[in-house]
Each structure stands twice: as structure tokens, then as C-alpha cells.
Amino acid sequence: MSPQNFSSIPVLDYSLTTSSNPADKAEFISQLQNALINVGFLYLSNTSSVVEDKVVNELVSFIPRLFDLPQEEKEKVIMANSPHFLGYSRLGAELTKGQTDYREQFDFATPHVSRWKPGDPDYYNVWGPSQYPDEPLIPGFRNAIETYFSQVTKLGSQFISLIAQALGLAPDGLSRFYDTPERMQHRGKIVKYPVMNERSASDQGVGPHYDAGFLTILLQVTSHPGLQVQNLSGDWIDASPIPGTFVINFGRALEFATKGIARATSHRVLSPPIGSTTPRYSVPLFHNIALDVRVSEPEYQLEFPPEVLKLRDARGSLSTTDSVNYSEFETQPSGYVQLMGRVKYVLPSSPLFFFVVQFLFFTHRMSHNDTIRNFSRSFSQMDCRYKA
């Protein structure tokens, strides 16, 4: 297999970036360059100087309890209540390319206020507060997830600067894609993939898709295999958990912004098979760029050194897979793409109803707010999200 067509995921040691020996950092940057161009995924070890072990362990200890809350308590924070698309999605409420994902999840984000006001783009609606179960039901959980979010976001910001260097840019070469801190909101979720049973219609935990933003930092909480990533020949390569690491992958926004140098890689999760004794849990955090950035605009065009462009060309163009792919980054602001990823939901399962909602939204006959107001709230029992 050519070096460009990976058959395993590299493991990078984050502590090399702060080593007193400059050769260590250079080695890290070179490994990161390979991961960016040829793989799109990596494991990152030795990050505890930024994300403390005790913060990770504290969050992990809450996760089974979070999902074991009574169903009616989980439904109180259902995503359909939130114009910001934050909150609980019950098992089977999400479709990827028309196929049900067998996962249950809580979406959270950096603490934020609602900022949308009349006249603003609809996509400013994604800014807003998370929904939390009542504190006495799970005391300390809110603090645990907020602390985790803040530390992992810091890791993400430091990593963005390393990515810039691996692409031959200055350390702040990607900073133009970010807004002031009070206008940035990173999103993430806590996910449960239940064990399959005799009645399971498929083993799709989450179907093949790309992530949208610049960077995803994923904590695989349990030891289940199941996460798989697709190489250039279309083979699915296991990204099984390695204790003490995060999995990092790159999203479509970074791929567009870097003219295809960094690759977004299609991935999926298979449900724990019959016979597994515990569900699989994971916590992805999606490190976003500013909502108003339109990566195709002149001010966002980056100049890369010829040797880096050569490496991209040696890899070859990224074959189009039929995974969810967020191609709207070519023309639309980042916030719009985020919103689309959220609004492509089917409320009732009727395809006709779905097309009517899609038509109204995408032809701007109905604003996002109206779509939400008119449909989500009244169909909260039938909430559903859809990735096309």
C-alpha cells in the first residue's frame, strides 16, 4: 500500500511540542503533516498538561448516570425545545443518509447567551445556552462537562497553531478563521451506542459522514472497537480506542480552507455487537470556526509553500465517497453550513412532509426561526435529525 493510502492511524505524542529539544517539535510537526495530508485522523497522547486526567475521569464517571436518568427527565431537555439545537436526542432520532443511527445523545456547547436578533442571519441562532438535567438529579455534572469543554477547547486552539505550522504557515496562520472569544461557540456531545440485539435492524451506530468544522477532538470513553475510518481505496480501517489518547480528525471546513491539503476523512461507528456486556460511550468536541467565515472569499485564501502543495498532489485528489459531505462550504458561510447540518431533520417520518419543510427552509420562504417555531415545538415527540 502506498504511504498515501493509510492502513493504520498514527499516534502523535503531544509532549514533543513542549520539549526543550527543538528536534522533537520538528518531528511532531512532520508527523502531523503526514496525518493532515494522508490520513485525516490521528491519536494524540500525553495531553494531560492541557486536559487534566482528573477532569476527564470526572466527566467519564457521570456518563452512565446521565443516560440512566429517567426517560422523562431526559425528555425535559430534548433538543426540539432549543432553537440552538442543544439538548437530548433519544435513541433512533437521528438519520444519516436516510438510515437510522442507533445512538442516544446529549448535545452541549461552550456556555453562551442567545445572540440572535431580528435582522441577523438565521444561523446566529446556533448561539445559545446548553440544556442541563436538573442539578439535584446529577449533582456536579454541569460543572464537569463545562470544565472538560473549556480544557479541550484550549487543546483545540493550541492544535490549530500546530496545524498551521505543519502546513507551512506561520503559527497564527489560521487565526483569521476565528472570531473574538465571546462570539465563538464550540459544540460537542456525549453519545451512547447501545449493544445490538436480535431485533436490531442494522449495526449502524452512526453512518458514514465527514465532520464539518476544522477539527474534532474525540474521547473514546469505553474500550469498544467500532469507530472506523475510510482510506483512499474505500477500505474501512479500525480506529479502536487507545487508553490515554484523544482521536483527532479534520473536517470539511479545514479541507476547503487548505485547498484540499488537509483531508477530511469519512468515518462511521458500528454498534457493539450482540454479546457485548456494556454500551459504547464517546464524547466528540467539534472545534468550529467563526460563523460568518465564507472560506471561498478572497480574504480567506491562504498561500502554501510549493513543497506542501506537492505532497497534496502526490496523495492525489480525494475520491468522493457517498458519505455526508457538507459541500456547501464552497459557497456558504460556516454558520449556514452548521445550521444546515442541524435543520436537515425529518420531523414526522413522512417523506412528503420532509420535502415541504426542506423546500420552505432552503428557498427562504420560511426563516429558520419560523421553521423551528412552527414545526419543532409541536412535534417534539417526533423530533428527528437528518444528515443528508
Which residues lie near Fe ion (CB under 5 A)?
A: 211
Q: Interaction with ligand AKG in 120-149: which residues (CB under 6 A)?
A: none
Beta bridge partners of 95: 100, 386
Q: Is 284 in the site for ligand AKG (CB under 6 A)?
A: yes
Least distance to Fe ion from the beta carbon of 9, Å?
A: 14
Q: Which residue has the cell 492525489?
A: 316
Q: Is 267 in the site for ligand AKG (CB under 6 A)?
A: yes
Least distance to ligand AKG from the beta carbon of 244, Å?
A: 16
Q: Which of 16, 80, 155, 206 binds ligand AKG (CB under 6 A)?
A: 206
Do you know the residue count of the chain? 388
Least distance to Fe ion from the beta carbon of 170, Å?
A: 29
Least distance to ligand AKG from the beta carbon of 166, Å?
A: 22
DSSP secondary structure, 318-354, as one string: PPPPSSB--GGGGTS-HHHHHHHHHH---SSS-HHHH
Least distance to ligand AKG from the beta carbon of 101, Å?
A: 9
Q: Is 17 in the site for ligand AKG (CB under 6 A)?
A: no
Least distance to ligand AKG from the beta carbon of 308, Å?
A: 27
Q: Is 315 in the site for ligand AKG (CB under 6 A)?
A: no
**Closer of 44 and 227 to ligand AKG (Cβ):** 227
Q: Which of 9, 269, 339, 366 binds ligand AKG (CB under 6 A)?
A: 269
**Closer of 91 and 360 to ligand AKG (Cβ):** 91
Q: Is 221 in the site for ligand AKG (CB under 6 A)?
A: no
Q: Is 282 in the site for ligand AKG (CB under 6 A)?
A: yes
**Closer of 32 and 227 to ligand AKG (Cβ):** 227
Phi (first) and psi of residue 171, to 5 degrees: -55, -30
Enter the DSSP assignment of 379.
G
To which H or E segment does residue 267 belong?
strand 267-270
Question: Total residues at the site for ligand AKG (CB under 6 A)?
Answer: 10
Tell me the longest C-alpha to C-alpha distance in the chain: 62
* Distance from C-alpha of 23 to C-alpha of 193, rounded to nearest angstrom: 42
Cβ atoms of residues 136 and 28 within 8 Å: no
Residue 282, contacted partner among ligand AKG, Fe ion, none, CB below 5-8 A by kind: ligand AKG
Q: Is 346 in the site for ligand AKG (CB under 6 A)?
A: no
Residue 82, contacted partner among ligand AKG, Fe ion, none, CB below 5-8 A by kind: none
Q: Is 218 in the site for ligand AKG (CB under 6 A)?
A: yes
Residue 352 contacts by C-beta under 8 Å, 6 or more apart in sequence? none
Q: 186-195: string of b/e by CB count within 10 Å (b at 16+)?
A: bbbbbbbbbb
CB atoms within 10 A of CB 355: 11
**Closer of 104 and 211 to Fe ion (Cβ):** 211
* Vertex 22 angle, CA 19 and 28, to 5°: 70
Q: Build a one-symbol-per-residue string for 175-204: x at contacts with ligand AKG by CB under 6 A, - elsewhere.
A: ----------------x-------------
Amino acid at 231: N
Q: Is 271 in the site for ligand AKG (CB under 6 A)?
A: no
| Nearest residue to the partner Fe ion, using Cβ | 211
- In 3D, which of 339, 338, 330, 324 has the Cα closest to residue 287? 338
Instruction: Count Cα neighbours of 235 within 13 Å in the Cβ-side half-sphere.
Output: 10
* Distance from C-alpha of 162 to C-alpha of 237, rounded to nearest angstrom: 25
Q: Is 252 in the site for ligand AKG (CB under 6 A)?
A: no
Q: How far is CA 238 from CA 202, 268, 382, in A?
A: 19, 10, 34
Q: Is 261 in the site for ligand AKG (CB under 6 A)?
A: no
Which residues contact ligand AKG (rule: CB under 6 A)?
191, 206, 211, 218, 220, 227, 267, 269, 282, 284
